[in-house]
Amino acid sequence: MVTALKEYAGENTYLSVAGIPELRQALCEFHTRYDRLEGLGVDQFIVGPGSKELIFLLMTVFNGDVLVVSPTWTTYRPQSLLAHHAPYVVEASMETEWRVTPEAVEKTIVDNKLTGNKLLIFCNPDNPTRDKLTLVYCYCSVVLKKHNVIVLSDEIYARIHFADQHDTLARYYPEGTIISSGLSKWASAGGWRVGYQIYPVQLESLRLTVKSAASHTYSCVAAPMQYAVAKGLRNVEECDSYMHHTTRIMKAAAEYSYSELTAVGVRCTKSTAGFYLFPDFGLVRESLLKRGIETVGQMCDVMLKEANVALMGGGPAFLRPVTELTTRLCYVNFDGAVALAESQRLGLETPLPTDFVRLHCTRLHDGIQVRIQQSSSYRTHVLQAVPNLELPVCWLLFLFT
């Protein structure tokens, strides 16, 4: 894609608001291949400058109630407020591995007496938790149909499913599911700002309304990017290879982080896709209270100040209670180019060795591994000895000693 971008750098005309036909056709073939979605047409797509812009435009033109999930990506609720909606929150919990259950969706609708148009903003695989539905899909689609809920299924992390088993809601609820995706995550192209939405033919009037709003806001996605992505997506072999290498690296990083966190007693749901864990540090609540720390925000402030550990609190950013000690933990703090080069050197037929994270995701490894057998003087000198800690295990041990 970078090579193609050089080739098309001179493209400077305004393009179709929905995206050039070549790109939309490439996206049709892409989702037919990876999501087993048959019969897609180029007129079902809108290409935008990142998926956020398109999600916001959808909320802006939507006439009805907006539902968001707790926990989920930080942008959805602020965008709904900017679009003059007061969002209703569908609650999830660690007990159900943060899955969105049909019971929770229906409870939100019934308890709030929502009888008009409804739009559920749903992230799958989720940021910050995991892929949420699978078996629940069939039951959830019944509830969605029953209450006439349109779903924006944000599947930006779909190609980073560790077992390559992403299952789109559109296969179970095709008439009511709008897929949102883009190049930011799987192609490591966040700064290119190329996102898109796929609308079912039953929601064509809504697609046209979003397209109209797009013409009055961003006009079109940058021309060189569109041509470059369209050409790059046709290189199926290279796309496959890149996805498989990066996904297995992320899986190794996720499993390593999960095992180390849970080994010291942190509650956590194992990630099956993407870049994040959502650990709960409730085990240190009593120690924190003795220091006058009552909220997750206060805890994160202390972690940053005392140990150079940066986490986002679950509340309020991810719509969790501020006294709940859940956090969004990102485990991509390493040089991806180094890890990718080693994975490519080994070849996909060779599994990553058990010490891959230690050797090739060094910053991640060094941030977690703390020598707990050191003398009591370690407590005094730990911050000087390990100045660039990136994850909270060191801080937890420091707090306990």
Residue 3 maps to a domain: no
Q: Which helix (H) or strand (E) holds 141?
A: helix 136-146
Show the domain range for 186.
14-234
Q: Are 187 and 261 within one domain?
A: no
Please give the model's pTM, rounded to 2 decimal places: 0.89
Task: Please check whether residues 70 and 214 belong to one and the same domain.
Answer: yes
- Domain end point (choices 234, 256, 281): 234
Number of domains in the chain: 2
Q: What is the mean pLDDT of the chain?
A: 88
Domain-located, residue 5: no
Whether residue 208 sits in one domain with residue 296? no
Question: Does one domain contain both 22 and 122?
Answer: yes
* Residue 137, pLDDT score: 63
pLDDT at 310: 82
Residue 9 is assigned to a structural domain of this protein: no
Where do we find the tokens 């007496």? Answer: 113
Coil, helix or strand at residue 101: coil
Where residue 102 falls among pLDDT bands split at 50, 70, 90? Answer: confident
Q: In CATH, what number is assigned to the domain containing residue 154?
A: 3.40.640.10
Over residues 339-357, the pLDDT tens digits come to 999 999 999 999 999 999 9
Query: For the chain, what percent of residues have pLDDT higher than 90?
Result: 70
- How many angstroms separate the most distant Cα atoms in the chain? 68
Residues 23 and 120 placed together within one structural domain of the fold: yes
- Do 355 and 228 share a structural domain? no
- Residue 207 falls inside a structural domain: yes
Q: How far apart are CA 295 and CA 335, in angstroms?
A: 33
Q: How many other C-beta atoms are found inside a 10 Å radius of the C-beta of residue 107?
A: 13
- The verdict on 290 and 356 lying in the same domain is yes
Last residue of a domain, one of 234, 255, 272: 234
**Same domain for 230 and 244?**
no
Do 224 and 269 fall within a single domain?
no
pLDDT at 375 over 50: no
pLDDT of residue 261 exceeding 90, the answer is no
**Is 103 a domain residue?**
yes
Is 54 found in the same domain as 68? yes
Three-class secondary structure of residue 21 per DSSP = helix
* Last residue in a domain, options 179, 203, 234: 234
Look at residue 6 and tell me if it is in a domain. no
Q: Is the pLDDT of residue 221 over 80?
A: yes
Claim to verify: residue 63 and residue 196 sit in the same structural domain: yes
- Please indicate whether residue 304 or residue 341 has the higher confidence score (pLDDT): 341
Indicate whether 2 belongs to any domain: no
Looking at residue 385, its pLDDT comes to 40
Residues 340/345/347/353 CA torsion (nearest 10 deg): -80
Residue 256's domain is classified under what CATH number?
3.90.1150
Mean pLDDT on 122-140: 69
